[in-house]
């Protein structure tokens, strides 16, 4: 360029300046007034909406207003949470763009004592402590079908006059807090909120139960806490099985609890409900401790009248369930107090995070579920269905006859006599995925008979009914005449999540957990692991030498007939040697840490050099080489 004539050089510089101005103007115009085209180049397509979410957004028939509350100032020292907020906001913006104006989004920073803070609390968001200067952190989403102002409603109805048709029930729902531990289910949680807001009324839930789950008004007993919890979210209705021949399809979920000797007509109704796409949850139990009927056992077998089963349907679905077996697990035995004595009950289990399926949305965020005298499921050899565990025992479990568990009610410790773990994880609750075929082929000529289910049909199976009882998960106290619940396990959350998941559309059920957006520095982690192994080796060496020194000091204690002076001098020398060695090992530990930091710093320096210096230099070099070759070619052409 510097060898060019002055006039041509001026033209080139002017053209370059004009090009820069045009580029800036074009960038401003496209970012301000045009919707940019986005490309998701992440490994797991984290920022691409799943087909289920797109289907829910596309089927929206009413306007929705979303407000994302995030405490910007309180999280200035928490980069991980701020990064997660950016991902949440970008996903919501993608949903808004997909909705073509049916969904509106606004961002709010609920600073202390502001209207936004009052609005966040009033809409059910849950703040957490730990922000800057002791501030509370809000990070949640509120969705409503109620316009924030009459002007907003008028604008929307002008754009979408069809929204005026029909009576609309105004609803407001929220995600109280976006927990980083549930990041893999972020899209599911947001899509569920959108789906629920789009529903005109509460989902209808049916309950068929052989247990008094709804209480008894004549005796003054209240419904179980799990039922009261479900009634807050769903329209729960009891179904009387007398003369029941068909289950209404308006029941989005059916809970079948403790089925005992169901009539064939009722079993056929259940069969057709499942084949028609209905969502069934079955609670069976080898020994239901909450069954109010007087206990009667069969002396010739382990059968008792507190057990429940669904043998015909289970066999047709390819499920194996033996009501004559109870799962024991000494590794998960709950501590109880019996006759003033504290002991572990191997038939009452506290299933922790390692026994819950954290890849399933129902149990992903749960920490513990208590069960009692539970059974287990398996698949029959010729099964065409799939059994996906939701919760299971540890591998330190065994199964025993139900009768033995009943006889050990007054002495649970006797269940540990002759305990032989079978190194197997017994499935206590699971999803059973079809397709299913009818268990009543002989009724194929009935009008409306269904012989097979859709390919995505599923049933949820739970081998315990006692987990529904209050005693295993909640304490109830009266406060000013109102019941106050204090939860100590996640049993209620398990049932709510289950029903919540099943009441969603097929699109919602198709949304599975996504990968996390947090990308670890694998090389740095490898360096840390190597350093940790070195630290562990040094710590073991120090502990070994410490134990040897203690033994040596014990040997050097003054003995009978020996001189205290010589022993004292020998002890001092031994202690001095140990202190010197301890100091040397401490220096070695620090050296390992220094080497680790040096390697990490060197890695960071190399990355900075590559990103800041080498790549721009390489691009510049390529540009110069291209310009040089083009100049030489032009000179040859002019000289020729």
Residue 68: name the closest of 51, 84, 45 by CA. Answer: 84
Angstrom CA distances, 92 to 109, 187, 408, 427, 519, stand at 16, 9, 55, 37, 21
Cβ neighbours of 334 (radius 10 Å): 18
Residue 18 is predicted with a pLDDT of 84
Cα distances from 232 to residues 216, 235, 236, in angstroms, run: 19, 8, 9
pLDDT of residue 163: 46
- The reported pLDDT for the residue numbered 88 is 93
45-64 pLDDT tens trace: 666 888 888 888 998 888 99
pTM over 0.75? The answer is no
Token pair of 501 as six digits = 């998941």
How many residues does this entry show for the chain?
Answer: 640
Domain positions in the chain are: 51-161+168-198, 204-323+375-393+423-509, 523-555+571-639
Q: Are strands 204-209 and 253-257 parallel, antiparallel or unpaired?
A: parallel
Dihedral (Cα; 570, 574, 579, 582), 10-degree rounding: 180
Mean pLDDT is highest, among 33-42, 243-252, 518-527, for 243-252
Strand partners, 207: 238, 255
> Which residue bears the tokens 């410490």?
546
Which of 113, 182, 100, 112 is CA-nearest to residue 141?
Answer: 182
Instruction: Assess contact for 370 and 491: CB atoms under 8 A.
Output: yes
* Burial of 560 (C-beta count, 10 Å sphere; 0-12/13-18/19+): exposed
User: Which range, 156-160, 357-361, 512-516, 578-582, is most confident?
Assistant: 357-361
Q: Is the peptide bond before 578 cis (omega within 30 degrees of 0)?
A: no
Q: How many CB atoms lie within 10 A of CB 343?
A: 15
Structure tokens that stand for 268 in this block? 């056929």
pLDDT at residue 338 tops 90: no
Please check whether residue 141 is in contact with residue 69, taking contact to mean a CB–CB distance below 8 angstroms. Answer: yes
CATH classification of 51-161+168-198, choosing from 3.40.30, 1.10.530, 3.40.50, 3.30.200? 3.40.30
Q: Going by C-beta distance under 8 Å and a sequence separation of 6 or more, which residues neighbour residue 250?
A: 204
Q: Pick the closest to residue 374 from 291, 307, 448 (CA basis).
A: 307
DSSP for 18-70? HHHHHHHHHHHHHHHHSPPP----STT-TTS--HHHHHHHHT--S-EEEEEEE
The 10s digit of each residue's pLDDT in 471-490 is 999 987 665 556 667 788 99
Strand pairing of 333-338 and 341-351? Answer: antiparallel
What confidence tier does 237 reach under pLDDT thresholds 50, 70, 90? Answer: very high
Query: Among 3-12, 154-163, 539-548, whose mean pLDDT is lowest?
Result: 154-163
- 466 pLDDT more than 70: yes
Contact status, residue 256 vs residue 208, Cβ threshold 8 Å: yes
The pLDDT-based confidence of 592 (bands split at 50, 70, 90) is low
**Sequence-ordered alpha helix ranges (H) in 340-456:** 402-407
Q: What is the DSSP letter of 287?
A: S
pLDDT digits (tens, 9 = 90+) for 131-141: 877 889 999 99
> What is the sign, positive or negative, of the torsion defined by CA atoms of 249, 250, 256, 260?
negative
pLDDT mean over 98-111:
92
């Amino acid at each position: 360029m510097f060898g060019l004539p002055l006039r041509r050089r001026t033209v080139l510089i002017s053209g370059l300046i004009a090009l820069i101005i045009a580029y800036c103007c074009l960038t401003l115009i496209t970012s301000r007034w045009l919707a940019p085209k986005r490309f998701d180049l992440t490994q797991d397509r984290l920022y691409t909406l799943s087909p289920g979410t797109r289907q829910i957004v596309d089927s929206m028939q009413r306007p929705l207003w979303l407000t994302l509350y995030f405490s910007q100032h309180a999280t200035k020292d928490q980069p991980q949470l701020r990064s997660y907020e950016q991902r949440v906001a970008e996903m919501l913006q993608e949903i808004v763009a997909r909705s073509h104006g049916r969904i509106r989004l606004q961002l709010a920073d609920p600073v202390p004592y502001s209207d936004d803070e009052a609005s966040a609390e009033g809409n059910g968001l849950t703040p957490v402590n730990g922000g800057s200067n002791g501030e509370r952190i809000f990070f949640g989403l509120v969705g409503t079908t109620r316009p924030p102002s009459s002007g907003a409603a008028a604008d929307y109805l002008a754009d979408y006059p069809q929204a005026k048709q029909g009576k609309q029930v105004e609803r407001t729902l929220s995600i109280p807090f976006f927990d980083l531990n549930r990041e893999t289910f972020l899209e599911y949680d947001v899509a569920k909120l959108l789906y629920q807001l789009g529903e005109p009324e509460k989902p209808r839930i049916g309950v068929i139960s052989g247990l008094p789950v709804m209480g008894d008004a004549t005796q003054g007993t209240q419904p179980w806490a799990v039922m009261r919890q479900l009634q807050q979210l769903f329209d729960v209705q009891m179904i009387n099985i007398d003369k029941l021949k068909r289950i209404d399809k308006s029941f989005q979920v059916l809970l079948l609890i403790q089925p005992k000797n169901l009539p064939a007509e009722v079993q056929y109704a259940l069969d057709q409900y499942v084949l028609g796409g209905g969502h069934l949850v079955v609670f069976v139990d080898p020994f239901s401790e909450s069954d109010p009927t007087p206990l009667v056992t069969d002396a010739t077998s382990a059968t008792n009248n507190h057990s429940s089963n669904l043998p015909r349907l289970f066999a047709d679905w390819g499920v194996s369930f033996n009501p004559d077996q109870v799962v024991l697990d000494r590794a998960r035995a709950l501590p109880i107090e019996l006759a003033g004595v504290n002991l572990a009950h191997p038939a009452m289990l506290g299933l922790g995070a390692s026994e819950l399926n954290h890849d399933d949305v129902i149990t992903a965020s749960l920490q513990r579920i208590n069960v009692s005298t539970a059974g287990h499921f398996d698949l029959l050899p010729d099964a065409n269905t799939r059994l996906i565990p939701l919760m299971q025992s540890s591998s330190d479990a065994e199964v025993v006859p139900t009768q033995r568990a009943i006889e050990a009610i007054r002495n649970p410790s006797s269940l540990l006599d002759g305990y032989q773990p079978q190194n197997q994880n017994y499935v206590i609750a699971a999803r059973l995925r079809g397709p299913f075929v009818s268990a009543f082929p002989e009724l194929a000529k009935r009008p409306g008979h269904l012989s097979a289910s859709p390919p995505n049909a599923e049933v949820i199976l739970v081998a315990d009914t006692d987990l529904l009882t209050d005693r295993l998960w909640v304490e109830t106290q009266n406060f000013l005449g109102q019941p106050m619940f204090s939860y100590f396990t996640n049993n209620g959350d398990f049932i709510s999540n289950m029903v919540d998941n099943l009441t969603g559309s097929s699109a919602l059920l198709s949304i599975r957990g996504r990968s996390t957006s947090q990308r670890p520095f694998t090389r740095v982690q490898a360096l840390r692991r190597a350093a940790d192994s070195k630290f562990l080796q040094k710590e073991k060496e120090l502990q070994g030498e410490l134990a040897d020194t203690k033994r040596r000091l014990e040997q050097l204690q003054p003995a009978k007939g020996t001189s205290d002076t010589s022993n004292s001098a020998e002890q001092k020398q031994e202690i001095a040697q140990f202190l010197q060695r301890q100091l040397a090992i401490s220096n070695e530990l620090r050296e390992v840490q220094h080497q680790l930091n040096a390697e990490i710093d060197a890695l960071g320096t190399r990355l900075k050099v590559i990103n800041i210096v080498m790549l721009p230099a390489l691009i510049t070099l390529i540009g110069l080489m291209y310009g040089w070759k083009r100049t030489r070619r032009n000179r040859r052409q002019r000289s020729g």
